[in-house]
C-alpha cells in the first residue's frame, strides 16, 4: 500500500497521482477491453484501501452494537463509531459532536431538516432554493410547503451557470423562513458564494441550509466560518462507503426540533404515559446506526487529511483546465456551465448526438460518465435540454484520462454525429 504522506508531503506541491491510484484497486481494471477511465465521481467516488481496510478490520475485530453492550466489543465498537463522529466534526469544524448527526446521506439529512422545521412554517411563508439544486434540495421543501401552506421560490441562474445574486437579494423578504442552497452544483460544477448568501439570508431572518454533497469531495467546508444553520453531505461521494451521510446542525436549532424517527436509542425514557427524548445527537439517530460505514467515512476523511490539499486542488484545477482546452477539438461540443469558480465537473452536449448515446459509446471504450437529467430537472428546463453528458473528475484522475475522453469523443463525433 502506498504511504500517502510520502505521496504528497507538505513540501511537494504536485500530487503523486500514480502513487495515489495504487490506493484505489477498483481503478486498475479493464472495461470492455479497455483500461477503465472513471469519470463519474459526481455520482459516486471510489474507495481507497484505507477505507476498505478500516471496514474490514471493524468487522473482524471490533464489531458489536454501539452504546448498548456491557462488554469489551461493545465498548470497542462505540469507541471507533464515536471516534468517526469526532473526525467528521473536525473535518467541518463544528463546535461540538452534538451537532453531528449520522444520516443515510444528503437526501435523508435534508428530509430530516424539512421535517423538523414544519412547526415553524405557516401559510404564505417562503422557502428560497435555487434552480440549480439537486432534487434532494427541492422535493423535501415542496413536501414541507404542501404540509404547511408555504411556497417554494426559486433563485434563478444565469446562462453561464452562476446564481443571479441580484434576484436573490431581491427575493429575500420577511416571509423568507428557509434558504436552502447547494455549495457546488452537481451539473455545472459551479461553486456558489454560500458564505455571503447565508449572511444575507440570515439578515432577513431565514434558517440556512447548505447541501454540501458535491463540495466535500473537493474541499473542506468550515461550518463556523460559513455560519450556516445546517450543512448536509454524503459519504460515498467523498471516497467513503455508501449508506451513511452527515447532517451538521446548529445546536440550538437541533434541540428545538422534534425527532425525525422514533425507536431505540433516540429516547431517554419510554412509558405509555410519556416518552422523552435522548440528548443530541442521539435524538436524531433512531435504531442501530450504520456503524461500519461511520468507521469507513472516518477513514476516508483521515485519508483526505493525509493528502496535500493545495496540491490536490491544483491537480483538480489542472484536469478541468485541460478538459476546457480540448473542447474545441470536438466539433459541435458545447459546455453547459462556464462559471468562473468551478470544481472539475463538465456537463456537455454534442450536436447530433443524444447524451445517452454518448454515454454508451464511451462505455464501449472503457470510459464511465453519467448522462441524463442528473436529478436536476428544473436546471435542464432552464437550458432547454432533456439531459446532458457529464464528466466529473476526482484527484485520482490523470491528464491522460482527460485526453482519452476527448480522443473518444472526437471518434464518436466523427462516426455518429
- In the complex, least distance from residue 272 CB atom to ligand C6P, rounded to whole angstroms: 36
Please name the helix (run of DSSP H) or strand (run of DSSP E) that holds residue 300, with its range, or none: helix 291-306
- In the complex, least distance from residue 107 CB atom to ligand C6P, rounded to whole angstroms: 3
Binding string, 354-383, against ligand C6P, x = CB under 6 A? ----------------x---xx--------
**Which residue lies nearer to ligand C6P by CB, 245 or 281?**
245
Instruction: Answer yes or no: are the C-beta atoms of 380 and 139 closer than 8 Å.
Output: no
**Which residue lies nearer to ligand C6P by CB, 156 or 403?**
156
Q: How many helices (H) and strands (E) does the chain have?
A: 15, 17
- Indicate which single residue of 87, 111, 130, 214 sits in contact with ligand C6P (rule: CB under 6 A): 214
Helices (H), 204-273: 223-226, 251-256
**Which residue lies nearer to ligand C6P by CB, 103 or 398?**
103
- In the complex, least distance from residue 238 CB atom to ligand C6P, rounded to whole angstroms: 10
- In the complex, least distance from residue 273 CB atom to ligand C6P, rounded to whole angstroms: 38
Q: Which residue has the cell 453528458?
A: 389
- In the complex, least distance from residue 391 CB atom to ligand C6P, rounded to whole angstroms: 12
- In the complex, least distance from residue 187 CB atom to ligand C6P, rounded to whole angstroms: 7
**Which residue lies nearer to ligand C6P by CB, 216 or 311?**
216
**Which residue lies nearer to ligand C6P by CB, 5 or 356?**
356
> What length does the chain have?
417
Alpha-carbon span 151 to 67, nearest angstrom: 41
Three-class DSSP category at 390: strand
Query: Shortest CA distance to 350 belongs to which of 325, 329, 373, 367?
Result: 329
Alpha-carbon span 29 to 45, nearest angstrom: 16
Q: Which stretch binds ligand C6P (CB under 6 A): 18-26, 102-110, 150-158, 249-257?
A: 102-110
**Which residue lies nearer to ligand C6P by CB, 5 or 261?**
261
Alpha-carbon span 194 to 199, nearest angstrom: 8
Q: Which stretch binds ligand C6P (CB under 6 A): 82-90, 101-109, 148-156, 360-368?
A: 101-109
Annotated catalytic residue 228: no
Name the pairing type of β-strands 176-182 and 207-211.
parallel
Beta bridge partners of residue 246, listed in sequence order? 102, 233
- Indicate which single residue of 62, 78, 87, 106 sits in contact with ligand C6P (rule: CB under 6 A): 106
Instruction: Answer yes or no: are the C-beta atoms of 251 and 99 closer than 8 Å.
Output: yes
Q: How many binding residues for ligand C6P (CB under 6 A)?
A: 17
DSSP, res 137:
G
DSSP calls for 71-119: SHHHHHHHHHHHHHHHHHHHHHT-S-GGGEEEESSHHHHHHHHHHHTGG
- In the complex, least distance from residue 231 CB atom to ligand C6P, rounded to whole angstroms: 12
- In the complex, least distance from residue 234 CB atom to ligand C6P, rounded to whole angstroms: 3
Q: Which of residues 38-97 bind ligand C6P (CB under 6 A)?
A: 42-43
Instruction: Answer yes or no: are the C-beta atoms of 94 and 220 closer than 8 Å.
Output: no
Beta bridge partners of residue 15, listed in sequence order? none
Binding string, 120-139, against ligand C6P, x = CB under 6 A? --------------x-xx--
Q: Is 234 in the site for ligand C6P (CB under 6 A)?
A: yes
Q: Write out the three cell numbers for 311.
A: 496540491
Q: Is 65 exposed, middle or buried (0-12, 13-18, 19+ CB in 10 A)?
A: middle
Instruction: Answer yes or no: are the C-beta atoms of 269 and 275 closer than 8 Å.
Output: yes
Alpha-carbon span 229 to 138, nearest angstrom: 18
Q: Which stretch binds ligand C6P (CB under 6 A): 146-154, 208-216, 262-270, 302-310?
A: 208-216
Question: Of 375, 379, 402, 409, which residue is the catalytic one?
Answer: 375
Instruction: Answer yes or no: are the C-beta atoms of 189 and 342 closer than 8 Å.
Output: yes
**Which residue lies nearer to ligand C6P by CB, 81 or 233?**
233
**Which residue lies nearer to ligand C6P by CB, 141 or 278?**
141
Q: Which of residues 237-276 bind ligand C6P (CB under 6 A)?
A: none
* Contact positions vs ligand C6P (CB under 6 A): 42-43, 105-107, 134, 136-137, 182, 186, 211, 213-214, 234, 370, 374-375
Residues with catalytic roles = 375
Amino acid at each position: 500500500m502506498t504511504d500517502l504522506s510520502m505521496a504528497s508531503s507538505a513540501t511537494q506541491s504536485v500530487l503523486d497521482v500514480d502513487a495515489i491510484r495504487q490506493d484505489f484497486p477498483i481503478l486498475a481494471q479493464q472495461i470492455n477491453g479497455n483500461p477503465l477511465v472513471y469519470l463519474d465521481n459526481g455520482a459516486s467516488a471510489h474507495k481507497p484501501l484505507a477505507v476498505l481496510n478500516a471496514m474490514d478490520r471493524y468487522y473482524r475485530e471490533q464489531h458489536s452494537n454501539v452504546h448498548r453492550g456491557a462488554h469489551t466489543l461493545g465498548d470497542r465498537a462505540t469507541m471507533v463509531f464515536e471516534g468517526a463522529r469526532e473526525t467528521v466534526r473536525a473535518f467541518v469544524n463544528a463546535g461540538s459532536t452534538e451537532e453531528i448527526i449520522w444520516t443515510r446521506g444528503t437526501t435523508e439529512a435534508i428530509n430530516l431538516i424539512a421535517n423538523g422545521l414544519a412547526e415553524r412554517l405557516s401559510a404564505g411563508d417562503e422557502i428560497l432554493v435555487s434552480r440549480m439544486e439537486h432534487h434532494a434540495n427541492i422535493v423535501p421543501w415542496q413536501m414541507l410547503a404542501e404540509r404547511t401552506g408555504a411556497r417554494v421560490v426559486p433563485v434563478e441562474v444565469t446562462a453561464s451557470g452562476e446564481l443571479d445574486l441580484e434576484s436573490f437579494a431581491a427575493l429575500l423578504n420577511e416571509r423568507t423562513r428557509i434558504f436552502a442552497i447547494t455549495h457546488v452544483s452537481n451539473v455545472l460544477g459551479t461553486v456558489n458564494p454560500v458564505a455571503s448568501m447565508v449572511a444575507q439570508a440570515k439578515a432577513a431572518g431565514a434558517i440556512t441550509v447548505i447541501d454540501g454533497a458535491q463540495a466535500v469531495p473537493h474541499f473542506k467546508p468550515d461550518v463556523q466560518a460559513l455560519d450556516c444553520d445546517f450543512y448536509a453531505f454524503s459519504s460515498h461521494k467523498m471516497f467513503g462507503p455508501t449508506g451513511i451521510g452527515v447532517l451538521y446542525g446548529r445546536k440550538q436549532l437541533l434541540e428545538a426540533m422534534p425527532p425525525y424517527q422514533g425507536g431505540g436509542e433516540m429516547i431517554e425514557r419510554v412509558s405509555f404515559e410519556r416518552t422523552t427524548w435522548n440528548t443530541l445527537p442521539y435524538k436524531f439517530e433512531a435504531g442501530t446506526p450504520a456503524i461500519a460505514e461511520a468507521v469507513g467515512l472516518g477513514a476516508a476523511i483521515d485519508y483526505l487529511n493525509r493528502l496535500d490539499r493545495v496540491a490536490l486542488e491544483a491537480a483538480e484545477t489542472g484536469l478541468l483546465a485541460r478538459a476546457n482546452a480540448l473542447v474545441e477539438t470536438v466539433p459541435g461540443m458545447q459546455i453547459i456551465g462556464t462559471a468562473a469558480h468551478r470544481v472539475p465537473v463538465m456537463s456537455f452536449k454534442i450536436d447530433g448526438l443524444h447524451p445517452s448515446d454518448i454515454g454508451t459509446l464511451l462505455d464501449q471504450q472503457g470510459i464511465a460518465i453519467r448522462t441524463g437529467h442528473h436529478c436536476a430537472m428544473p436546471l435542464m428546463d432552464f437550458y432547454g435540454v432533456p439531459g446532458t453528458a457529464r464528466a466529473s473528475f476526482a484527484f485520482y484522475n490523470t491528464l491522460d484520462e482527460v485526453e482519452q475522453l476527448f480522443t473518444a469523443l472526437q471518434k464518436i463525433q466523427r462516426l455518429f454525429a
